[in-house]
């Protein structure tokens, strides 16, 4: 047993220090980036990704977010035919295919890949190989085998929270490592297992490891405000993945629920009782649920939320003098705080 005595931080433990700059208006900030991956593929756009969760990673969400040049990691539970039709009809921002590590997951992907790749403009497909625990030998071997079979794919894989495992995954063929264990709004892994790592520190440390190998990372989970998204980019994240912040909208899966003349939408973690009953018939006897189900007040079209997120991010850039999103991490200094917000009038919100 050992204890790490160094201070590790979450997003709510810090603020970004403003700096003198020459950007006179938010409208002049460029949020688009271009990343070149080791396999020759590239990404162009705004590096915000909707999570591959039932309530977020939908075709409808992808259609709305492509207007903002953002991406969606599609739910892994769409059928083969649905995915083929969607991938062959995409227009602007390339969607991301999601899968687990079972044989059936690979067989389904192979069929979709065969029907969407040859002679088409989609080029190498971006794939999110998604497990809760990215530290197993089984996961690592799966990635190595998958990369050999589908060498033209750009692999996103996770989740991990330590620089050592980030490096291992990149050396195994992963282009983008997904960082985060337990920080999500409907994740209970930390409560159920005691396992995790403060998200801001995880992003800082894993970004440094990834960039040293010309790899990239996604900060996955822990963002509840536009300011948190800015902190993730400031900490070195190349992409930020959002779940709860994009749930409850028109584009989210699920029906509206009426309670006391108010409208809600259900949102749940992908390791929750709800998810496992929906997709696996229930929770297996050998495991416990590590997610929760909540009812979120209906938020209308996601367009409104995206404007808030991107507007806040542009404003952050002006406060530190970054003309482009790619400059933000170089111009970010964090200061530790005991309190971020003045909530004295929060009871009077309208």
Query: Per residue in 123-132, pLDDT tens?
Result: 568 999 999 8
225 backbone φψ class: left, alpha, beta (φ>0; ψ -120 to 50): beta
Residues annotated as catalytic are 187, 189
CB 143 within 8 A of CB 124: no
pLDDT in tens, 22-57: 898 899 999 999 999 976 688 999 999 999 988 899
Q: Which pLDDT score, from 0 to 100, does residue 185 have?
A: 82
Higher pLDDT, 340 or 272: 340
The DSSP string of 60-88 is: HHHHHHGGGT-EEB--TTS-HHHHHHHHT
Q: Judge whether 157 and 143 are in contact, CB under 8 Å.
A: yes
Per 3-state DSSP, what percentage of the chain is helix, strand, and coil (rounded to 5)? 35, 20, 45
Q: Which residues is 272 bridged to in the sheet?
A: none
Question: With 80 as the cut, is the pLDDT of residue 349 above it?
Answer: no
Say what the pLDDT of residue 128 is: 97
Question: What pLDDT score was predicted for residue 16?
Answer: 98
DSSP state of 23: -
What pLDDT score does 295 carry?
84
pLDDT of res. 68: 96
Is the pLDDT confidence value at 228 over 90?
yes
Q: What is the mean pLDDT of residues 103-126?
A: 80
Distance CA 189, CA 135 (A): 15
What mean pLDDT comes out for the span 274-291? 60
- Tell whether the model's pLDDT for residue 303 goes beyond 80: yes
pTM across the whole model:
0.92
Q: Using the predicted structure, report yes or no on whether residue 236 has a pLDDT greater than 60.
A: yes
Per-residue pLDDT, 58: 94
Helical segments of the chain, H only:
59-65, 80-87, 103-116, 137-149, 163-171, 189-193, 199-212, 226-234, 273-280, 302-320
Report the run of H or E that residue 49 belongs to, with start and end.
strand 48-50
Greatest Cα-to-Cα distance within the chain, rounded to the nearest angstrom: 60
36, 52, 53, 56: which is closest to 124 by C-alpha? Answer: 36
Report the pLDDT value the prediction gives residue 286, as an integer from 0 to 100: 58
Distance CA 296, CA 65 (A): 20
With a cut of 80, say whether residue 191 has pLDDT above it. yes
pLDDT tens for residues 244-262? 999 999 998 777 888 888 8
Q: Are 263 and 298 a contacting pair, CB within 8 Å?
A: yes
The predicted pLDDT at position 323 comes to: 97
The pair phi, psi for residue 99, each rounded to 5°, is -155, 160
Length of the chain: 350
Q: Which domains does the chain have, with CATH numbers?
A: 11-336 (3.20.20.70)
Q: What is the pLDDT averaged over residues 306-332?
A: 97
- Reading the block at residue 336, the tokens are 């530790």
Residues 6+ apart with CB under 8 A from 257: 263, 264, 265, 266, 295
């Amino acid at each position: 047993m050992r204890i790490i005595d160094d201070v590790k931080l979450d997003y709510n433990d810090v603020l970004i220090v403003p700096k003198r700059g020459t950007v006179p208006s938010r409208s002049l900030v460029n949020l688009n980036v271009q990343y070149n991956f080791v396999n020759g593929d590239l990404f162009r756009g705004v590096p915000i990704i909707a999570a591959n969760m039932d309530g977020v990673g939908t075709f409808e969400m992808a259609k709305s977010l492509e207007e903002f040049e953002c991406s969606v990691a599609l739910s892994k539970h769409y059928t083969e035919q649905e995915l083929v039709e969607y991938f062959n009809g995409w227009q602007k921002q390339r969607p991301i295919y999601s899968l687990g590590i079972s044989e059936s997951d690979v067989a389904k992907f192979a069929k979709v890949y065969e029907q969407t790749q040859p002679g088409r403009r989609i080029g190498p497909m971006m794939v999110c190989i998604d497990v809760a625990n990215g530290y197993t030998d089984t996961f690592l071997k799966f990635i190595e085998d998958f990369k050999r079979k589908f060498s033209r794919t750009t692999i996103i894989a996770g989740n991990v929270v330590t620089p050592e495992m980030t490096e291992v995954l990149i050396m195994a063929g992963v282009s983008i490592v997904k960082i985060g264990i337990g920080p999500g709004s409907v994740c209970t892994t930390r409560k159920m297992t005691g396992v995790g790592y403060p998200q801001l520190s995880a992003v800082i440390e894993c970004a440094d490891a990834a960039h040293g190998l010309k790899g990239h990372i996604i900060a996955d989970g822990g963002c509840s405000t536009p300011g948190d998204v800015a902190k993730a980019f400031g900490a070195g994240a190349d992409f930020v993945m959002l779940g709860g912040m994009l749930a409850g909208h028109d584009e989210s899966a699920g029906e509206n629920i009426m309670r006391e003349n108010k409208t809600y939408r259900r949102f749940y973690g992908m390791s929750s009782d709800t998810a496992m009953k929906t997709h696996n018939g229930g929770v297996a006897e050998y495991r416990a649920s590590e997610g929760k189900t909540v009812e979120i007040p209906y938020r209308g079209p996601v367009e409104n939320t995206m404007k808030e997120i991107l507007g806040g991010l542009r404003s952050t850039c002006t406060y530190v003098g970054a003309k482009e999103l790619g400059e933000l991490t170089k111009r970010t200094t964090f200061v530790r705080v005991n309190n971020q917000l003045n909530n004295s009038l929060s009871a009077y919100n309208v």
